[in-house]
Amino acid sequence: METLRVRVRRGVEASDLPLPEPASEHASGADLRSSEAGILQPGEIRAFGTGLSVEIPPGYEFQVRPRSGLALKSGVTVLNTPGTIDADYRGEIRVILYNASRVPFEVRRGDRVAQLVLAPVVRALWDEAECLEETSRQEGGFGSTGVR
């Protein structure tokens, strides 16, 4: 497993909270904790702060992803998944949560609300073309290969 150092700054609101860390030896993501408390009503979308800012090395991004247990057990997920944190962003990491359940969900300060995955970035160089190579699928999309 490759590792890469990332500088992190904790705001006052997160000074006593643990830094993101993987929950198991082979976990690809590190758990992000909310530095804010609040009630997320059914159908509500709200950004929760983490109190953390990062300095990501050029050529990498952080992806903010849902925690599967939170989604399965409580119906709460990260709405814009994966959320992207670019290498030149220095503001606070905030997590956009969505409550897809029918009951209010309490977010407590220090709760693990998402996971953060460091990923390499590959940029596309666009070559404009008059036509594209044919495939067996062609323009079929949105279920064209079957729904089951």
Binding residues for substrate: 67-69, 80, 84-86
Residues 6+ apart with CB under 8 A from 30: 20, 21, 22, 115, 116, 117
Let me know: does 89 contact 55? Beta carbons within 8 Å.
no
Task: Give which of 3, 59, 58 is closest to 30, Cα–Cα.
Answer: 3
**Residues of the binding site:** 67-69, 80, 84-86
The string of DSSP letters for 52-84 reads EEEEPPTTEEEEEE--HHHHHHH-EEETTSSEE
Cα 32 to Cα 119, 122, 124, 137, distances in angstroms: 16, 25, 30, 40
